[in-house]
C-alpha cells in the first residue's frame, strides 16, 4: 500500500520569549491588541458562563467511578479513605506501555532552562499517555545547549577584566507510537491545557494519508484555508510579472526581440 | 568489455532523462548553471520580523494606558518624573533646550 | 514640531527611544514596505536569461530608490539603551545593559558562569 507521510508541527504552551532569536519563519497574523480591564472582565464573565455550561453537560451523563486501590486497609489519614492506585503511583517513575507495532505517530520536545520543570512536564505527559493507552518511549534527554556570554565588566574602558555568564538549555523528548490521530489530538490538547510556565512544548505529528489525498482535499467544499495561506502564492513573483508588463520594461523587451 | 561500454547511454540521452525527471518532480533543471536569480525568488520575506525588532505597540499597554484606566489611583511614573526633574535642573543651570524662534 | 521623516509612522512605545532608534525604526518600516519591489527588481537585474537592456533598467530603478529602503542601512540597536555597539543579539541588549540585568537575575536562564 502506498502511503504519504505528512508531518504537522504544533507548538504550544507558554514559550520563552528569548528563544525566538534568529528565526526567519513568520506568519502574517493580525496583531492582537491588548484588552483593557473592562474588556477583560467581560471576557472572563463569558468564559465562566461557558465553563459552567460545559460542567453541567458533563454532569448530565452518568459515569461510573470505581477506582482501584493498592489495598483497602491502607487509609489516607486526612480523608479517611483508601488511596487510589493512580495517586499512589505518583510516588514512582511513570509507567509506559510498550509499542505494539513501532509505528511512530508523534514526538513532543520539551525545552527549558530548568531540568526539574522539564521532568515535571515530561512525566505529566507520560502519565496522561499511559491512562489514554498510548504507547510511548521513556522521557529521554537530548543534547544540552550551553551558551557562554563574556562581557567586559566595566561600563567604560578596562577591557581586560571580563565577566562570564552562561545559559544552559535542556532538551527532552517523548515519542508516541501506534495511536489514532484522534487520541493523539486529545493527548496533546490535554498537555497543552496543563502546560507549565518556563517550558517550551513542541509537538510533531505524523499522519498517514492515501495517495489521492490532494483529490480528497479538493472535493471537500467546506474546507476553508486560513488567511495565512494567501501570502504563500509568491508575492515577489507576482511583482516581477507586474514590473515586466509595465510600459517601461515592455519597450526594452520588444527592442531585444 | 567493449560490449558492456556500448550499453551505457550517451550523455545527451542521460541529460534528457534528467530533464524529464525534473519536470515530473517539479525540480529546477539548469545544467549550464546559468545565473537566473531564482535565489531571490526562493528567499522568504524578512520584513515582518525586522519591523518587530523594537516591539509591537499594540501588544502591551503602557503606563499611560494604566493612568487612563485608573484615574482614581493617581499613578505616577517614576521614570517620567525623573526625566522632568532632570529637565528642570538643566534649565536652572541654563543648559536647557533653546527657546523657540518667534517671527 | 514638524515630523522629520518623509512618511508618518508610530514611534516604538516599549523600547528605549532616542533619535537614532527612531531613525532605525523608520528604516525598518520602510524596508518592510518596499521589500517586495526591491526583491523583484533585484531578480530582474540578476537574471542573465533576460535581455541586457531590461536588466540595466531594473538596476537603474533599484539604485534610484531611496537609500532608507535598503536592508544594509538597518543596524540592530540595544532595546534598553539605544547603543549599537557590543550588542548581544540573543537578548537585543548592549553589554552593560545585559550585565546589569543578568546580575539582577532578570534574564531567564542566565547565570554567572564559573568552572
Task: Say yes or no to pLDDT of A45 above 50.
Answer: yes
Domain boundaries, chain A: 1-17+102-219
Residue-level pLDDT at A12: 47
Task: Say yes or no to pLDDT of A143 above 60.
Answer: yes
ipTM of the complex: 0.89
Residue-level pLDDT at A129: 96
Residue-level pLDDT at A104: 93
Residues of B with CB under 8 A from a CB of A: 40-41, 43-46, 48-49, 56, 58-61, 65, 69
Which chain C residue lies closest to A115 (C-alpha atoms)? C109
User: Of the given ranges (A151-155, A230-234, B4-8), which has the lowest mean pLDDT?
Assistant: A230-234
Residue A9 binned pLDDT confidence (cut-offs 50, 70, 90): low
- Highest mean predicted confidence (pLDDT) among A41-45, A225-229, B8-12: A41-45
Report residue B3 as a C-alpha cell.
560490449
User: Of the given ranges (A32-46, A66-80, A138-152, B57-71), which has the lowest mean pLDDT?
Assistant: A66-80
Report the C-alpha gap between C92 and A90 in whole angstroms: 42
| Burial of B51 (C-beta count, 10 Å sphere; 0-12/13-18/19+) | buried
Nearest CB partner across the interface for B46, out of A24, A34, A36: A24
Under a CB-based contact definition with an 8 Å cutoff, are residues A205 and A181 in contact?
yes
**Which residue, among A17, A21, A23, A26, would best test binding to B if mutated, counting the most B CBs under 10 Å from its CB?**
A26
The residues with which A205 forms a beta bridge, in sequence order, are A8, A106
Report residue C79 as a C-alpha cell.
532595546
Under a CB-based contact definition with an 8 Å cutoff, are residues A180 and A127 in contact?
no
Average pLDDT, chain C: 94
Residue-level pLDDT at A253: 83
Report the C-alpha gap between A107 and A173 in whole angstroms: 7
Residue A14 binned pLDDT confidence (cut-offs 50, 70, 90): very low
Task: Say yes or no to pLDDT of B70 above 90.
Answer: yes
Under a CB-based contact definition with an 8 Å cutoff, are residues A191 and A125 in contact?
yes
Domains, chain C, ordered by start: 16-75 (1.10.287.1480), 78-115 (no CATH)
Residue-level pLDDT at A69: 86
DSSP string, C30-78: HHHHHHHHHHHHHHHHH-TTS-HHHHHHHHHHHHHS-GGGSGGG-----
Query: Residue A241: what are its φ and ψ, rounded to 5°?
Result: -60, -50
Report the C-alpha gap between A195 and A188 in whole angstroms: 10
C92 near B CB under 8 A: yes
Cα radius of gyration rounded to whole Å, chain B: 35
C32 near B CB under 8 A: yes
Cα radius of gyration rounded to whole Å, chain A: 27
Give me the torsion for CA of A13, A18, A24, A27, rounded to 10°.
40
Residue-level pLDDT at A64: 84
Report the C-alpha gap between B93 and A5 in whole angstroms: 74
What percentage of residues in chain C have a pLDDT greater than 90?
92
CA B72 distance to own-chain centroid: 42
Residue-level pLDDT at A2: 42
Nearest CB partner across the interface for C113, out of A21, A164, A253: A164
- The arithmetic mean of pLDDT across residues A188-192, rounded, is 94
Report the C-alpha gap between A252 and A245 in whole angstroms: 11
Residues of B with CB under 8 A from a CB of C: 34-37, 39-41, 43, 45-48, 50-51, 53-57, 59-60, 62
Give the right CATH number for A1-17+102-219 from 3.30.310.10, 3.30.70.600, 1.10.579.10, 3.40.605.10.
Answer: 3.30.70.600
How far, CA to CA in Å, does C18 sit from each of A52, A154, B100, C76? Answer: 50, 24, 21, 14
How far, CA to CA in Å, does C61 sit from each of A204, A249, C11, C36, C37? Answer: 45, 11, 30, 14, 10
Residue A28 binned pLDDT confidence (cut-offs 50, 70, 90): very low
Residue-level pLDDT at A218: 73
User: Of the given ranges (A27-36, A242-251, B58-67), which has the lowest mean pLDDT?
Assistant: A27-36
Q: How many residues does this entry show for chain A?
A: 257
Cβ within 8 Å, pair A25-B60: no
**Which residue, among B51, B77, B100, would best test binding to C if mutated, counting the most C CBs under 10 Å from its CB?**
B51
Please work out, in degrees rounded to the nearest 5, the angle formed at the alpha carbon of residue A252 by the alpha carbons of A249 and A257: 125
C75 near B CB under 8 A: no
The beta strands (E) that lie in chain A are given as: 4-12, 104-112, 140-141, 145-152, 162-177, 199-209
| DSSP reduced 3-state for C111 | strand
Residue-level pLDDT at C36: 93
Q: DSSP state, A228? A: G
Residue-level pLDDT at B4: 63
- The arithmetic mean of pLDDT across residues B55-67, rounded, is 92
| Burial of A130 (C-beta count, 10 Å sphere; 0-12/13-18/19+) | middle
- Tens digit of each residue's pLDDT (9 = 90 or more) over A63-95: 888 888 877 778 888 888 888 888 889 999 999
Residue A148 Ramachandran class (φ > 0 left, ψ -120 to 50 alpha, else beta): beta
| DSSP reduced 3-state for A84 | strand
| Burial of A26 (C-beta count, 10 Å sphere; 0-12/13-18/19+) | middle
- The arithmetic mean of pLDDT across residues A198-214, rounded, is 87
Nearest CB partner across the interface for B41, out of A25, A26, A237: A237
Under a CB-based contact definition with an 8 Å cutoff, are residues C27 and C44 in contact?
no
pTM higher than 0.90, yes or no? no
- Tens digit of each residue's pLDDT (9 = 90 or more) over C55-96: 999 999 999 999 999 999 999 999 999 999 999 999 999 999
- Tens digit of each residue's pLDDT (9 = 90 or more) over B76-91: 999 999 999 999 999 9
Report the C-alpha gap between A109 and A142 in whole angstroms: 9
What percentage of residues in chain A have a pLDDT greater than 90?
53
Task: Say yes or no to pLDDT of A24 above 70.
Answer: no
Residue C8 Ramachandran class (φ > 0 left, ψ -120 to 50 alpha, else beta): beta
Which chain C residue lies closest to A154 (C-alpha atoms)? C96
The helix, strand and coil proportions of chain B, stated in percent and rounded to the nearest 5, come to 55, 0, 45
- Residues of chain C with C-beta less than 8 angstroms from the C-beta of B53: 25, 28, 76, 92
Residue A15 binned pLDDT confidence (cut-offs 50, 70, 90): very low
> Which residue has 528563544 as its cell numbers?
A19
Report the C-alpha gap between A17 and A121 in whole angstroms: 19
C41 near A CB under 8 A: yes
Cα radius of gyration rounded to whole Å, chain C: 20
Cβ within 8 Å, pair A152-C90: no
Which chain A residue lies closest to C96 (C-alpha atoms)? A155
Amino acid at each position: 500500500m502506498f502511503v504519504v507521510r505528512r508531518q504537522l508541527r504544533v507548538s504550544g504552551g507558554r514559550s520563552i520569549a528569548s528563544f525566538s532569536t534568529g528565526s526567519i519563519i513568520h506568519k502574517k497574523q493580525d496583531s492582537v491588541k491588548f484588552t483593557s480591564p473592562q474588556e477583560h472582565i467581560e471576557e472572563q464573565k463569558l468564559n465562566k458562563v461557558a465553563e459552567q455550561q460545559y460542567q453541567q453537560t458533563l454532569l448530565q451523563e452518568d459515569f461510573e467511578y470505581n477506582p482501584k486501590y493498592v489495598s483497602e486497609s491502607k487509609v489516607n489519614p486526612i480523608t479517611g479513605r483508601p488511596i487510589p492506585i493512580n495517586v499512589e503511583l505518583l510516588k514512582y517513575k511513570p509507567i509506559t506501555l510498550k509499542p505494539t507495532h513501532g509505528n511512530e505517530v508523534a514526538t513532543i520536545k520539551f525545552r527549558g532552562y530548568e531540568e526539574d520543570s522539564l521532568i515535571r512536564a515530561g512525566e505529566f505527559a507520560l502519565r496522561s499517555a499511559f491512562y489514554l493507552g498510548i504507547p510511548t518511549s521513556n522521557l529521554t534527554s537530548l543534547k544540552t545547549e550551553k551558551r557562554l556570554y563574556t562581557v567586559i565588566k566595566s561600563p567604560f574602558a578596562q577591557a581586560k577584566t571580563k565577566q562570564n555568564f552562561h545559559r544552559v538549555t535542556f532538551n527532552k523528548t517523548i515519542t508516541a507510537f501506534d495511536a489514532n490521530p484522534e487520541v493523539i489530538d486529545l493527548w496533546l490538547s490535554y498537555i497543552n491545557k496543563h502546560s507549565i510556565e518556563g517550558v517550551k512544548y513542541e509537538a510533531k505529528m505524523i499522519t498517514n494519508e492515501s495517495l489521492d489525498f490532494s483529490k480528497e482535499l479538493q472535493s471537500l467544499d467546506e474546507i476553508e484555508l486560513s488567511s495565512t495561506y494567501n501570502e504563500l502564492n509568491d508575492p515577489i513573483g507576482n511583482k516581477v510579472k507586474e514590473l515586466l508588463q509595465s510600459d517601461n520594461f515592455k519597450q526594452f523587451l520588444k527592442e531585444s526581440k | 568489455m567493449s560490449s558492456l561500454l556500448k550499453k551505457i547511454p550517451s550523455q545527451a540521452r542521460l541529460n534528457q532523462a534528467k530533464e524529464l525527471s525534473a519536470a515530473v518532480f517539479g525540480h529546477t533543471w539548469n545544467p549550464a548553471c546559468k545565473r537566473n536569480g531564482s535565489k531571490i525568488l526562493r528567499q522568504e520575506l524578512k520584513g515582518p520580523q525586522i519591523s518587530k525588532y523594537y516591539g509591537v505597540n499594540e501588544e502591551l499597554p503602557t503606563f499611560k494606558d494604566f493612568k487612563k484606566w485608573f484615574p482614581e489611583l493617581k499613578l505616577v511614573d517614576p521614570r517620567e518624573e525623573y526625566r522632568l526633574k532632570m529637565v528642570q535642573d538643566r534649565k536652572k543651570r541654563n543648559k536647557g533646550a533653546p527657546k523657540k524662534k518667534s517671527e | 514640531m514638524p515630523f522629520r521623516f518623509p512618511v508618518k509612522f508610530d514611534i516604538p512605545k516599549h523600547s528605549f527611544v532616542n533619535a537614532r532608534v527612531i531613525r532605525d525604526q523608520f528604516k525598518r518600516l520602510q524596508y518592510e514596505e518596499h521589500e517586495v519591489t526591491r526583491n523583484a527588481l533585484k531578480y530582474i537585474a540578476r537574471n542573465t536569461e533576460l535581455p541586457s537592456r531590461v536588466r540595466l533598467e531594473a538596476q537603474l530603478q533599484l539604485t534610484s530608490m531611496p537609500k532608507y529602503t535598503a536592508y544594509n542601512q538597518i543596524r540592530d540597536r540595544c532595546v534598553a539603551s539605544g547603543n549599537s555597539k557590543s550588542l548581544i543579539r540573543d537578548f537585543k541588549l548592549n553589554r552593560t545593559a545585559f550585565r546589569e540585568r543578568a546580575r539582577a537575575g532578570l534574564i531567564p536562564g542566565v547565570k554567572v558562569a564559573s568552572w
